[in-house]
Structure 1
Amino acid sequence: MPLPIHLAVDSPIPIYRQITDQLQELILSGILPQGTSLPSIRILAKELGCSVITTRRAYQDLEVAGLIQTRQGLGTFVANVNQEKQDSHRLSTVEKDLRKTIESSFRMGVSESTLTTLFTQVLQQVKTESSKQGGSSDE
């Protein structure tokens, strides 16, 4: 199954970095759990339409970061990523998304008090919907 990686050739971000960033997101978000077998650098290069050197660079960066490991003769796999690293990534992602929303709201002239009220309302709605579906929204 091909990895859900989408490259933007017109982006100023180098292709290897786009691959690295997207794989890191897939791993730290838990979409690719520990032990998941990754395609070889040649297969990934073919799937993405880029050079083997590019995919090799991305895999090397991920290996240095401790997110993947290559086992000679067996392939490349998602490494055991500690829970603290995953939690930190999750909170960082939420913070970035909240920041974008707040900045956009302020640019549109939404006041802090209105934004706070709206946030509280939406939070309560999501918690209610989540509890009806049997999900958990608290940690």
Structure 2
Amino acid sequence: MWLPIQINEQSAEPLYFQIEVQLRALIVSGQLSEGTLLPSIRELAQMLKCSVITVRRVYQDLESEGLLRTRQGTGTYVARVEQREMDRHRLEAVIEAIEGAVAAGKLVQCSKEELADLFREALDKHYGV
């Protein structure tokens, strides 16, 4: 199975984090549905050209969050996640991104009004006016 995960080797974020964020997003957005069999750790590591240890960590982290289930001998699957839990994961990712954007704006001394304007422009750009 091919997964639309992109790695940016120039990013300051660790590889495991980039993969984990994208895989979590695929699950909580419903793009990967319950019961979907994921590539083996080795297969995904080969696809992404990274270490088996990196992918193992991603799978373990997402399993501890309840998003994945591993069945000995059969593989790793997307777990059944209640809608409330999916919404919580989905919104946590957005809140983290917004807080990062606000911190970046504050770092370069943007005012609250400037940040609000930038946020509205981004909304208009992505959702239309």
Assess same fold via TM > 0.5. yes
Give unpaired runs (5+ residues) of structure 1: 127-139
Give unpaired runs (5+ residues) of structure 2: none
The answer to whether structure 1 residue 34 and structure 2 residue 34 are counterparts is yes
Tell me: CA distance 1:78–1:12, structure 2 relative to 1, closer, same or farther (3 Å). same
Tell me: CA distance 1:51–1:98, structure 2 relative to 1, closer, same or farther (3 Å). closer
Aligned length: 118
Using the TM superposition, give the Cα deviation of residue 90 of structure 1 relative to its aligned residue in structure 2, in angstroms: 4.0
Task: Give, in whole Å, the separation in 2 of the partners of 1:3 and 1:13.
Answer: 20
Tell me: CA distance 1:60–1:35, structure 2 relative to 1, closer, same or farther (3 Å). same
Structure 2 equivalent of residue 13 of structure 1: 13
> What letter is aligned with 2:65?
A
Tell me: CA distance 1:12–1:77, structure 2 relative to 1, closer, same or farther (3 Å). same
Tell me: CA distance 1:50–1:35, structure 2 relative to 1, closer, same or farther (3 Å). same
CA RMSD of aligned residues (A): 3.2
Task: Give, in whole Å, the separation in 2 of the partners of 1:53 and 1:38.
Answer: 16
Aligned partner of residue 30 in structure 2, secondary structure: coil
Q: Larger radius of gyration, structure 1 or 2?
A: 1
Task: Give, in whole Å, the separation in 1 of the partners of 2:93 and 2:54.
Answer: 26
Using the TM superposition, give the Cα deviation of residue 91 of structure 1 relative to its aligned residue in structure 2, in angstroms: 4.3
Structure 2 equivalent of residue 75 of structure 1: 75
Structure 2 equivalent of residue 65 of structure 1: 65
Structure 1 equivalent of residue 46 of structure 2: 46
Give the percent of matched residue pairs that are identical in Structure 1 and Structure 2: 50
